[in-house]
Amino acid sequence: MSPEALKLPHTKDDFVSNQQVRWCPGCGDYSILAMVQRTLAKLNIPKENYAFISGIGCSSRFPYYMNTYGFHTVHGRALAIASGFSIARPDLSTWVITGDGDALSIGGNHLLHSLRRNMDFKVLLVNNQIYGLTKGQCSPTSQFGKVTKSTPFGSIDHPIAGLSLALASGASFVARTLDTDPKHLGDTLERAAAHRGTAFVEIYQNCVIFNDKDFAPVTGRENREDRMIYLEDNKPLVFGKKRDRAIQMNGLVPEITEYKEGANDRNLLVHRVDTPTSHYAYMLSQLNYPEMPVPFGVFRDVKQTPYGELVEKQIQEAIKSQGAGDLKSLIYGGPIWRVD
């Protein structure tokens, strides 16, 4: 903890705290932490103007490892606490670190409302599809049938699609990335950082101890080209080792079709992040393995005034129309009388 303010531009190391990182060896959180620190170093914001707020879970230890202001709160409430924080200080850059249990189970209500209000913070939802800190129970994103310590006969809960939920809640920025592709992770974080309002980023993260290789069928080296789509603005949704397949709509249903580089097939879906409604992004958020490839990248990024700014605006308008309130008018306002 250095007492002097550091000069801009910052380096990645400026954001490294003096605390020993205590995640399991091989945990995907290491890569996320490093990429967040790298991304912040690029942003030209003094580090005292960052706050990292988390709930409970493995990834929620994150703030302790960041040399910024930080608040490790209670289970599920990071978004609630961050909401108050960002309303109080719209001038600061607020980042929420949460997990699949923290954000989608115990804290689900706060996620829905943060998104619909467009709170001015980033939400990094680190999804490993398991409860790690409690040693391996099923989470709200665990697959149907998943055998865990709390579901020895297989989970009979259907998983939540976090991105669909976010879009249905009116999110203005929605993205998905993964721990094993640092470049994509970094690029996605940069785009999230540039967004004003709630930037919701789901990060696929591998839990080496309790859910190792859960994402491997999609993101594993041998599968990823055939089962992942990297979303690129204004380009068709192309995937495959030979880049020979793409997504098109058949009526109301997306389907896989053959693709040839340079072909101008008007049936192909072309990726846009700024459509006025979220129908398209929602459709993307429903694409899932094994039926379909899984999209990664920015699904939606639209301009919408952040909540904190609206709060400030109402206060300024009230002051303009009523004058700035003082204690005299507050206490001595209304009908008063004198007793001699």
Partner 1 sequence: MSKTKQTLDSITVRFAGDSGDGMQLAGDRLTDVSAVMGNDFVTFPDYPAEIRAPVGSLGGVSSFQIRFSQSLIFTPGDEADVLVAMNPAALKVNVKNIRKGGLVIVNTSAFTETNLKRASATADFLQDPIFREFTILSVPLGELTRSALKELDLKNVDAERCKNFFALGVVCWLYGRKLETTLEWIEEKFSKSAELVQANTAVLKAGYTYADVSELLPTQYFVPKAKLEPGMYRKIVGNDAISIGLITGAHLAGKTLFYGSYPITPATEILQFLAAHKSYGVKTYQAEDEIAAIGAALGASFAGNLGVTGTSGPGMCLKSEVLNLAVVVELPLVIVDVQRGGPSTGIPTKMEQGDLLQSVFGRNSNSPLVVLALKTPGDGFTMAVEAVRLAIKYMTPVILLSDGFLANSSEPWKLPEIEKLPDLRPKHPEAVPGKTFFPYSRDPQTLARPWAIPGTPGLEHRVGGLSKADQTGYVSYDPENQQKMVNFRAEKIRRIATDIPPVEVRGPGSGKTLVLGWGSSYGAIFQVINDLNKDGHSLSQAHLNYLNPFPANLGEILNKFEQILVPELNMGQLLVLLRYEFPNKKFIGIHQMNGQPFKVHVLGQKIREYL
The residues of the shown chain that bind partner 1, judged by CB under 8 A, are: 1-5, 17, 19, 46-49, 51, 53, 56, 63-64, 66-74, 77, 80-89, 91-92, 109-110, 112-113, 311, 314-315, 318-319, 321-325, 327-328, 330-332, 334-340
DSSP structural state of residue 153: T
Instruction: Give me 7's structure tokens.
Output: 């000069």
- Cβ 299 to partner 1, closest distance in Å? 24
- Cβ 13 to partner 1, closest distance in Å? 14
Complex with partner 1: residue 56 or 189, whichever CB lies closer = 56
Complex with partner 1: residue 249 or 310, whichever CB lies closer = 310
Complex with partner 1: residue 68 or 141, whichever CB lies closer = 68
Complex with partner 1: residue 85 or 299, whichever CB lies closer = 85
Give the Cα separation of 202 and 153 in Å (integer): 28
- Cβ 163 to partner 1, closest distance in Å? 21
Complex with partner 1: residue 55 or 293, whichever CB lies closer = 55
Give the Cα separation of 168 and 193 in Å (integer): 22
Angle 78-88/108-117 helices, nearest 10 degrees? 30
Neighbours of 61 (CB within 10 A): 19
**48-52 contact pairs (CB < 8 A, 24+):** 48/5, 49/91, 49/92, 49/93, 50/92, 50/93, 50/94, 50/95, 51/82, 51/85, 51/89, 51/92, 51/93, 51/94, 51/95, 52/95, 52/96, 52/97
- Cβ 130 to partner 1, closest distance in Å? 22
- Cβ 166 to partner 1, closest distance in Å? 16
Complex with partner 1: residue 109 or 267, whichever CB lies closer = 109
Give the Cα separation of 316 and 200 in Å (integer): 29
Beta bridge partners of 94: 51
Q: What's the length of the chain?
A: 340
- Cβ 29 to partner 1, closest distance in Å? 16
